Every structure is written in structure tokens, then in C-alpha cells.
Amino acid sequence: MKILVTVTEVAEPDDEFEIQGQSIEDRYLTYDLNEWDDYAVEEAVQVSEEYDDVEVVSVTVGPERAEETVRQALAKGVDRAIRVWDDDLGGDLLDPGTTAELLAGVVEEEEPDFVFSGVQSGDMAFGATGVALAEAAGLEWAAVINDFELDPDAGSASVRRELEGGVEELTDVALPAVFTIQTGINEPRYASLRGIRRAQQKPLDVETPTDLGVNVESTLSLSSLEVPETGSDVTYFEGSADETAAELAAFLREQKRVEA
């Protein structure tokens, strides 16, 4: 059995940051493994621990810097990694359809039994790559799942899709399929020291769009990026913690919001 996990590196801005042109200046950004993908990696590694002969392969579309993030996934139990990149991809906002075409190229090469993706990336948050990949690669799919039960003999999986307002949809999905993984589905492990050491030795192959036979041209471009103006007028309590706490307490009492 082979599981493909899509992972992406996300950028998180510091509390204070500056925007230069259409992007946040790099010195204010910290890069990390996408939160949702951390759960996707864990789900794949758990399946590999439950069944014999399971290979977990990760794929990322990202620049060389992303290899640090990929190594995190390898340290947590992914067996082998693929990174897709071409400097042409670096310029603009990559639309989810283009990312999906690249990932579909890898699906075609690897022929996994199923694919785990994160529901969304924390920074761009399109929330679309997994389902677009399924359609591009001709696979079935289920978006936003918080429970996954594999039935290898039936060639299917029973999942719970987490809808709005605490409602869950119980669905059976025929394999091969892409599942987009929601946070909370499992408890992502921390990489062990041994895992981190072994990750350095695991294969990490780089492929270009040309290798995959995909012609990339993003249909989207970010023309401006700003800190949004706040719509509300916030009244700030200022001073030391003791002072602000006293002001807030006085306010709450005055409003008769709190009896104590």
C-alpha cells in the first residue's frame, strides 16, 4: 500500500511586520510545516503502523527552503519525499489549480492507494488544493474529514466530514481518493531525536514541472496586500497589568455584567 501526503511550508508573520510591494518582508516571516498537514502526516504514519508494507511518500510544491519543513515530515515517519519546484513558480501567487496539476503529475508517477492533504494552508488558506488535485488526477475525494477508517478489502474508507455547527456527515468513499484532513483528527507526534537523525538519510527527490510534463502558468496575481483597516472602534485599557485588570473589572461591574 502506498500513501501520498501533500505537505506545504507556511509563512507566519511576526506580530509586527512590514509590507514591501505585494508581500510581507521576509525578515518578519517564520516558516513552518502547515498545521493541517501535520495532522495529515500523522494520519498517514498511523495507517502505516497499523498495516504491513505501507510506504508513506510526501510531496511538496516549494522552494529549496521548504526542505527543512519536508525533513520535519520525514522525521515524523514519512519514508521518502518529493519536492516539485522551478524558479518560475516563485514569482506570483500560485493558484490552487496549478498546484493541483503539479501534484497530479506526481500522483500519476507514484500511483498511491490514497492521498492525504490538509484542509487548507495557514497562510494562503485557499482550502482547495486537495479537491482540485482529486479532480485533476481522476481520483475520488472527501473534504474536511475528522475521522478515517480504512477498509482495504472493500477498497474504500469510511469518513466523517465535519460540517458547520457541530454536524458530521458520515460518508463512504471509494479508493483511490484524496482526503483533506481537519485538525483534531489525531494527536500529531513530536519527532524523536532518532527520527530527526534518520530523516537526514531519507530520500528527498526534486522534480521540475517539465519533468512532470506540466505547463505552469498561474492565473492569479496579487496586486496589493495591506493591513486591513479595523472596522470597529476599540477602547483600549492601558497601563500595567494590575491597572488594566482594575479598569476592566470596574467597567464590567459598572455595566452590571458581573455581580461578583
Ligand X SMILES: Cc1cc2nc3c(=O)[nH]c(=O)nc-3n(C[C@H](O)[C@H](O)[C@H](O)COP(=O)(O)OP(=O)(O)OC[C@H]3O[C@@H](n4cnc5c(N)ncnc54)[C@H](O)[C@@H]3O)c2cc1C
Instruction: Work out how close the CB of 119 gets to ligand X at its nearest, in angstroms, rounded to a whole number.
Output: 5
Residue 129 near residue 117 (C-beta atoms within 8 A):
yes
Alpha carbons 196 and 74: distance in angstroms, whole number = 8
Task: Give the one entry of ligand X, other proteins, none that residue 138 binds, where binding means its C-beta sits below a cut-off of 5 to 8 angstroms depending on kind.
Answer: none
Q: Is residue 133 within 8 Å of 198, Cβ to Cβ?
A: no
* CB closer to ligand X, 70 vs 119: 119
How near is the Cβ of 195 to other proteins at its closest, in Å?
21
Pick the closer one to other proteins by CB: 74 or 115.
Answer: 115
Cβ neighbors of 207 (< 8 A, separation 6 or more) are 82, 83, 84, 105, 106
Confirm if 1 and 152 have CB atoms less than 8 A apart. yes
> Any residues with CB less than 8 A from the CB of 218 and at least 6 apart, and which?
92, 93, 94, 95, 98
Which residues ranging from 164 to 203 are in contact with ligand X (CB under 6 A)?
none
- Nearest CB to other proteins, comparing residues 93 and 204: 93
Least distance from C-beta 87 to other proteins, angstroms? Answer: 20
Cis ω for the linkage preceding 176 (within 30 of 0): yes
Of all residues in the shown chain, the one whose CB is closest to ligand X is 119
Those residues whose C-beta lies under 8 Å from the C-beta of residue 258, and which sit 6 or more positions away, are 249, 252
Which is nearer to ligand X, 99 or 120 (by Cβ)? 120
* Residue number with CB closer to ligand X (147 or 211): 147
Give how far Cα 177 sits from Cα of 72, 130, 247, Å.
25, 10, 55
Cβ-contact 118, 8 below 8 angstroms: yes
How near is the Cβ of 253 to other proteins at its closest, in Å? 9
Which of 64/166 has CB closer to other proteins?
Answer: 166
193 binds, among ligand X, other proteins, none (CB under 5 to 8 A by kind): none
Binding mask 47-86 vs ligand X (x if CB under 6 A, - otherwise)?
----------------------------------------
Contacting ligand X within 96-155 (CB under 6 A): 119-120, 144
Positions touching ligand X (CB under 6 A) are 119-120, 144
